[in-house]
Amino acid sequence: MSHYNEMYEHDRVREPYARLREWVDTMPDDFRQMKQAEAEALFRRIGITFAVYGEGGDPDRLIPFDMMPRVFEQAEWRKLERGIKQRARALNAFLRDVYGRAEIVRAGRVPARLVFRNEAYEKSVVGVVPPRGVYSHIIGIDLVRTGKDEFYVLEDNCRTPSGVSYMLENREIMMRMFPQLFRQNRIEPVDQYPELLRRTLESVAPAKCDDRPTCVILTPGHFNSAYYEHSFLANLMGVELVEGQDLFVDGEFVYMRTTQGPQRVDVIYRRIDDPFLDPLCFRPDSMLGVPGLMDVYRSGGVSICSAPGAGVADDKAIYTFVPEMIRFYLGEEPLLNNVQTWTLWKDEDYRHVMANLPDLVVKEVHGSGGYGMLVGPKSTKEEIESFRKKIEADPANYIAQPTLSLSTCPTFVEQGIAPRHVDLRPFCLCGDRIELVPGGLTRVALREGSLVVNSSQGGGVKDTWVLSE
Amino acid sequence: MKLRISHETVYGYDHPIRNLVQSLRLTPSVFEGQKTHEWLIEVSGGIRGPGFRDGAGDWIEGWTVRGPTDEVSVRISGRIETRDTAGVLRGHREIIHPTTYLRDTKATRADKGLEALAAGVSEAADTLDLAHRLSAAVGEAIAYRPGVTEMHTTAAEALALGEGVCQDHAHALVAVARLRELPARYVSGYLHSTIDGESHDAAHAWAEIHVEGLGWVGFDAANRCCPDERYVRLGSGLDAVDAAPIRGVAMGNGAERLDVAVQVEEIAQ
C-alpha cells in the first residue's frame, strides 16, 4: 500500500515544508538531542503527562513529543475548516431534533432504534432546548488524510473531547525552543483558544442570567486522567475549577461556595459524564455531581456544556448517518468524507466483513483508545481467527471499516527524519458562532509502519501549523 | 369520583442536616381521567425551586431546605376528580418516543425466570390482549405479600421469591412487556383503598404498556385490573427510582428515619 507523504509532491518537497526541510538538514545531531531532552524536561515541568482521550495506562507517563511540526497550507485548511464547521452544525441540528420532534426518524432517514434505545439518549432532557439550541459546544472531530485532497472523518466527539491542552502546549514549547522558526514561517496562532472557549461558554448563558455570566469548569477531581487539562484550561480562561462539592443548588439556581460567600453560576463546562452529573436525576449513588443540578438546568437556570444527552450524536453506529444529517438538516452535500462502515448487526454487512477480515479494521461500537480493535493487514492469522470468535459471539458490538492508507509526515527518528502515520483532532467551538482555531492536535504513530496513533500504543504528538497566506 | 388526598412524608435525622435538595414528582398528571381542583405542596423550612413539565408530561418541582434541621416534612393536600378511562392515558401530553421505554434498568433487567415468564404467555390476538395476558401472568406469578421485599428488590428477585408488593408487580410487568418488545414503564400514584377488608397501601404503583393505536395503557398486576377512577396518577419512569415521587440528598451524616402517611378519601357528594 502506498501512502500519501504530506511533505512531498511527486519527488519534490512541497512549499510549506521547504524551510523545515532546510532546518532539519542543517541541524547538528547533538543540537537535536539536546533540544529533544529540553522538550521533555519542559513537558515534565509543566506536568502535562496525562493520557489523551481516556486511553488509560500510566497517568504519569510522558507522551512523546516530536519536534517536527505538521504543516497545512492556508488553502488546505480553509477547505477542512468548512467541512468541520458543516459537520458541527449538522450534529447540533441532529441533537436539537432528536430531543424534539425527531423529524429525521419520522422521515425514516435514521432508524428509531439507534436513537431512542441508545444508552446515551437521555430521556430526562427530551423537550429541553438549551440556549441558542446548542447541545455540543466543543466538538473534537478526528480526521485522517489519505491523499492530497482526501480527508476522512474517523469519529466525532460531542461530549467532552480532551487533548486541546496538547495543542496549546505543543505550540508553546515549539515557540520557546525554536523562536527563529516562527520568524521564518508565518504561522497562524492558536493561543486564542481559551479566550474563544470562554466567549463560547458565555454566549450560551441562560436567559435568566442578567449580568456577565459566571462560568466554571466542573472536574471529577485530581485522580481523573485529564485533570491537568481541566486546571490548565481554567487557569488560561480565568474561571474557577470546581468539583461537585463546591457547587450547590438553592432555590432556582446553582451556586459556587467562595470565600466571599455563595456566587451564582451560569454556565458549567463539565468534564464529568452524564450518569454522574446529578444523583437526583441519574445514578443515585454518584458523589461527583451536584444534587438538583438537572432540575435547575431543565428549568433554564443554568447551562451545561456539553448539554446532557449530547453523546447520542457521536456513537459509532450514529456516525454512519452523519452525511445523511448534513443533507437532511442543511440541504448540503458533505464536504468531508465518512469512512465506509459496515455494521455487523446487518446480515449482509456481517457476511462481507467475515469474508474479508484480513483487509479490514474492526472496532467495538463503544470502544476507544485503540483497544479492542483489529487491524486486519497488520495482524497474524491467529490474531484474526481469535478476533473472529469475539465477533461471532456478539456481532452487534462491532463495526468494520476498510484499512485506510493514512498519510505520513516527516518525523524525527534515530537517523534524521522518516515518514510516520498521523491523524488530526481539531476542536470546533459552537455558541452564538461556530469557531475553529487554525490547528489541532496531531497524533503520530512513532513505530515504523504502525497505523495506531494512540498514545497507549506508541503514539506521540506534534505541533500543527496552519500557514498564513 | 371526587377524592381528597393527604400525603405526609416526615424525615427525621439523628444529626441535623443542611442543604437538603429534593426533586418532587408529586403533582397529578393532566389527562382525561383526572382533574385537579386543588393541590398544595409544602416542604417544612423549604424554598420552592424550579418547576417544569418534563418530556414525559410529569410536573417536577425542586425544593431546597438550607437547615440545619433534624426534621423535614413534605406535605401534600389536594382535591381531585377522577374518571374511569379503562386504563387508557387519553389526552396526556408527552413527547418522549415510546420506544425509549424499551431499555431496561437494574430493577427491570431480565433473567431466566423473567424470560420464561414472558415466553410462557401465548401469542395473543393483538397487542392489547397480549398486554392483558402479561399482566395476568405477573399477578399469578407473584403473590401480594408485604414485608418480604424491599425498596431495592429487582423484578427478577421478586419473581424468584414469588411474593412482593405493588412495586415488585410493576417492575416484573415492565420487564416481561419489554421482553415481548412492548414499551413499558413504571407509574407511581395513589389508590383509593376499597373497603373489602384487604390492606392496600394508599401510595401505589402500577405499570403502563404502550399499545399501538391506543397509546399508553395502565395495568395493575397486583390488583389484576386496569387503573380506573380509584387511581390517581402522579408520574412515570423506567423503574421505581426513575419514577420516584421524592428524590433527595442532604449534607450530613447519621441515620435517617422515615414516616409516611397517605390518606385517600372519597368526598361525599
pLDDT at B195: 59
CA-closest candidate to residue A5, choices A70, A80, A64: A70
- Smallest CA–CA distance, residue A309 to chain B, in Å, is 13
Relative to beta strand A253-256, strand B231-237 is unpaired
Relative to beta strand A240-242, strand A215-218 is parallel
Per-residue cell: A53: 482521550
HSE-up of A137 (CA within 13 Å, CB side)?
27
CA-closest candidate to residue A170, choices A468, A441, A459: A441
Q: pLDDT tens digits, chain A, 469 residues: what are they?
A: 578 999 998 889 999 999 999 999 999 888 988 998 898 888 877 766 555 444 445 555 678 899 999 999 999 999 999 999 999 999 999 999 999 999 999 999 999 999 999 999 999 999 999 999 999 999 999 999 999 999 999 999 999 998 999 999 999 999 999 999 999 999 999 999 999 999 999 999 999 998 899 999 999 998 888 898 999 999 999 999 999 999 999 999 999 999 999 999 999 999 999 999 999 999 988 889 999 999 999 999 999 999 999 999 998 889 999 999 999 999 999 999 999 999 888 899 999 999 999 999 998 877 665 667 898 988 999 999 999 999 999 998 899 999 898 999 999 988 789 999 999 999 999 999 999 999 999 999 999 888 888 777 778 999 999 999 8
Relative to beta strand A253-256, strand A398-402 is unpaired
Nearest CA in chain A to B247: A280
pLDDT at B200: 56
Instruction: Residue B263: count other Cβ atoms within 10 Å of its Cβ.
Output: 15
Cα separation, A242 vs A230, in Å, equals 10
pLDDT at B201: 64
- C-beta of residue B114 within 8 angstroms of C-beta of residue B67: no
Nearest CA in chain A to B62: A295
Nearest-by-Cβ selection for B51 from A100, A124, A299: A299
- Smallest CA–CA distance, residue B195 to chain A, in Å, is 37
- The structural domains of chain B, with segments of one domain joined by +, span 2-82+246-266, 98-233
Cα separation, A326 vs A276, in Å, equals 31
Side-by-side strand order, sheet with A253-256 = A247-250, A253-256, A263-265
> How do residues A421-447 score in pLDDT, each as one tens digit?
999 999 999 999 999 999 999 999 999
pLDDT at A60: 59
Cα separation, A320 vs A317, in Å, equals 6
Task: State whether B50 and A295 contact (CB < 8 Å).
Answer: yes
pLDDT at A53: 46
- Smallest CA–CA distance, residue A36 to chain B, in Å, is 51
Q: What is the CATH number of domain A342-402?
A: 3.30.1490.270
Cα separation, B226 vs B84, in Å, equals 10
Nearest CA in chain B to A248: B19
Nearest CA in chain A to B249: A291
Nearest-by-Cβ selection for A296 from B22, B50, B100: B50
pLDDT at B223: 92
**Is A104 in CB contact (< 8 Å) with chain B?**
no
- C-beta of residue A368 within 8 angstroms of C-beta of residue A445: no
Task: State whether B54 and A127 contact (CB < 8 Å).
Answer: yes
Nearest CA in chain B to A111: B99
- C-beta of residue A237 within 8 angstroms of C-beta of residue A165: no
> How do residues B26-45 score in pLDDT, each as one tens digit?
999 999 999 999 999 999 99
**φ and ψ at residue B250, rounded to 5 degrees:** -125, 160
The listed CATH number (3.40.630.40, 3.20.20.70, 3.40.50.300, 3.10.620.30) that belongs to domain B98-233: 3.10.620.30
Cα separation, A267 vs A205, in Å, equals 6
**Is A251 in CB contact (< 8 Å) with chain B?**
yes
**φ and ψ at residue A114, rounded to 5 degrees:** -70, -25
Q: Report residue B255's pLDDT band, with 50, 70 and 90 as the boundaries.
A: confident
Nearest CA in chain B to A99: B96
Nearest CA in chain B to A100: B95
Chain-centroid distance of CA A338 in Å reads 16
Cβ-Cβ contacts under 8 Å between A and B: the total is 99
Per-residue cell: B241: 427510582
Chain A partners within 8 Å of B238 (Cβ) = 123
Task: State whether A251 and B47 contact (CB < 8 Å).
Answer: yes
Q: Report the DSSP beta bridge partners of residue A304.
A: A268
Average of per-residue pLDDT values in chain B: 94
SS3 A153: strand
**φ and ψ at residue B117, rounded to 5 degrees:** -65, -45
- C-beta of residue B218 within 8 angstroms of C-beta of residue B203: no
Task: State whether A124 and B66 contact (CB < 8 Å).
Answer: no
Q: Report the DSSP beta bridge partners of residue A400.
A: A342, A362
- The structural domains of chain A, with segments of one domain joined by +, span 8-333+405-466, 342-402
Task: State whether A252 and B247 contact (CB < 8 Å).
Answer: no
Task: State whether B102 and A291 contact (CB < 8 Å).
Answer: no
CA-closest candidate to residue A275, choices A258, A293, A260, A261: A293
Q: Report the DSSP beta bridge partners of residue A412.
A: A417
Cα separation, B235 vs B52, in Å, equals 13
pTM of the model: 0.94
What is chain B written as a DSSP string?
A: -EEEEEEEEEEEEEEEEEEEEEEE--S---BTTEEEEEEEEEETTEEEEEEEE-TTS-EEEEEEE---EEEEEEEEEEEEEE---TTB-TT----S-GGGGGS--GGG---HHHHHHHHTSPP-SSHHHHHHHHHHHHHHHSEE-TTSS-TT--HHHHHHHTEE-HHHHHHHHHHHHHHTT--EEEEEEEE---SSS----SEEEEEEEEETTTEEEEEBTTTTB---TTEEEEEEESSTTTT-SEEEEEE--S-EEEEEEEEEEEPP-
Q: Among positive and negative, which fits the CA dihedral B212, B215, B221, B226?
A: negative
Helix axes B112-119, B127-141, angle to 10 degrees: 130
- Smallest CA–CA distance, residue A253 to chain B, in Å, is 8
CATH topology of domain B2-82+246-266: Immunoglobulin-like (2.60.40)
- C-beta of residue B217 within 8 angstroms of C-beta of residue B87: yes
Chain B partners within 8 Å of A294 (Cβ) = 23
- C-beta of residue B106 within 8 angstroms of C-beta of residue B238: no
Mutate to test the interface with A, among B17, B18, B54 (most CBs of A within 10 A): B54
> How do residues B95-123 score in pLDDT, each as one tens digit?
999 999 999 999 999 999 999 999 999 88
Q: What is the dihedral of CA A352, A358, A362, A368, to 10 degrees?
A: -170
Cα separation, B113 vs A340, in Å, equals 42
Task: State whether A125 and B55 contact (CB < 8 Å).
Answer: yes
Per-residue cell: B244: 420516584
Amino acid at A145: R
Which residues lie closer than 8 Å to A55 by C-beta, 6 or more apart? Answer: A225, A368, A369, A370, A371, A454, A455, A456
Which residues lie closer than 8 Å to A95 by C-beta, 6 or more apart? Answer: A135, A136, A158, A307, A309, A310, A312, A313
Mutate to test the interface with A, among B25, B59, B241, B249 (most CBs of A within 10 A): B249
Check residue A444 and report its DSSP letter: E
